[in-house]
Amino acid sequence: MDRKKAQIVEGIVSVVVNALLFVVKFWVGIRTGSIALVADAWHTMSDSLTSIFVVFAAKLASKKPDKEHPFGHGRWELISAIIVAFILVFIGYEFLTGSIERFQNRESVTYGTIAIVITAVSIVIKELLAQYGFYIGRKTNNPVVTADGWHSRSDALSSVVVLAGIVITKFFPGFWWMDSVLGIFCALAIFYAAFQIMKDSITRMLGEEPDAEFIEELDGELDKIYDKDLKLHHLHLHNYISHKELTLHIRLDGTMSVEEGHKIASQIEQMIKQKFDMDATIHIEPL
């Protein structure tokens, strides 16, 4: 799956679908006089704006390395994911404060049948968009697309709150507070999603320790090149998204010539490039 193309397609699909949903939700909100549905419509429009940003991020991240940025521009994806996470925090905050204010004012929700139908359809479509974003994010290991998926999930959650308020208050008029309580829970879920996106992106930007599975696989490949234990240690992964750098230390026989050690190190670097698509820098230590 082509990383740039997949990200652009996901962004365009999200923009088009969200724009159509906005028009329908806004029309229903105005027709029924529902402030909540109008607000939910603008929440959907914010998804379109974020997805436009996702498309621009794909363009920036795909730029080739240059003199000022020798490792490429792939980290624009991480920066974009962090910005999307901040947008989610803002949406969650607005969701939280709105729910608390509604609870304090003892506001109840009353909607017609058309509002129920449109809200239910919106939930299904937004969850499908979220799953699409998660799928593309997993396939391309792309944090900004995953973040966009969570943005779609946050809109689905807001619509769930609206629909739950409709159904519950319809059958239990005394449960006027249910819409507010569900809104608070959904806000907390959005905060958690934003935290996970930020944590993952910042960890990648700061530098990662390769996981145990990768080290084990690398050790197995080293055994094919050199029949003795190289005492692999000090592994550090520098993730530039479109380009990855791996630094590591190995130990060789101290009586070995510089030329022999260099040959072994070069073979390992070539193997890492071919097998793991990483540029490796190896430091040799004597046993």
**Both structure tokens of 173:** 């008029």
* Residue range(s) defining the domain that contains residue 217: 212-286
Angle between helices 178-206 and 76-104 (to 10 degrees): 160
Domain-ending residue, one of 206, 227, 248: 206
**Amino acid 134: pLDDT:** 92
Do 157 and 228 reside in the same domain of the chain? no
Do 237 and 201 reside in the same domain of the chain? no
Do 222 and 173 reside in the same domain of the chain? no
**Amino acid 268: pLDDT:** 92
Query: How many domains would you assign to the chain?
Result: 2
In 3D space, the residue among 13, 78, 40 whose CA is nearest the CA of residue 154 turns out to be 40
**Amino acid 267: pLDDT:** 92
Do 155 and 199 reside in the same domain of the chain? yes
pTM of the model: 0.67
CA distance 261 to 251: 10
**Amino acid 269: pLDDT:** 93
Domain-ending residue, one of 179, 206, 233: 206
- CATH value at residue 53: 1.20.1510.10
CA distance 156 to 150: 10
Do 9 and 136 reside in the same domain of the chain? yes
**Both structure tokens of 175:** 């449960």
**Both structure tokens of 37:** 């549905």
Do 164 and 228 reside in the same domain of the chain? no
Do 200 and 222 reside in the same domain of the chain? no
**Amino acid 167: pLDDT:** 76
Per-residue pLDDT of the chain (287 residues; tens, 9 = 90+): 676 788 788 888 888 998 898 898 888 878 766 656 666 777 777 777 677 777 777 777 778 877 888 777 777 878 877 887 888 788 788 878 887 887 888 776 666 678 788 888 989 998 999 999 899 888 887 777 888 888 788 778 877 877 877 777 777 777 777 767 777 877 787 788 788 878 888 887 877 778 888 888 888 888 888 878 888 888 888 877 767 889 999 999 888 899 999 999 999 999 999 988 889 999 999 98
Do 114 and 184 reside in the same domain of the chain? yes
Kindly provide the b/e burial profile for residues 227-264, where b requires at least 16 CB atoms within 10 angstroms of the residue's own CB: eeebeeeebebbbbbbbbebebebbbeeeeeeeebeeb
CA distance 81 to 107: 35
- CATH value at residue 227: 3.30.70.1350
Do 18 and 143 reside in the same domain of the chain? yes
**Amino acid 163: pLDDT:** 80
3-state secondary structure of 246: strand
Do 179 and 74 reside in the same domain of the chain? yes
Do 270 and 176 reside in the same domain of the chain? no
Do 199 and 217 reside in the same domain of the chain? no
3-state secondary structure of 110: coil
- The size of the chain, in residues, is 287
Domain-ending residue, one of 145, 171, 206: 206
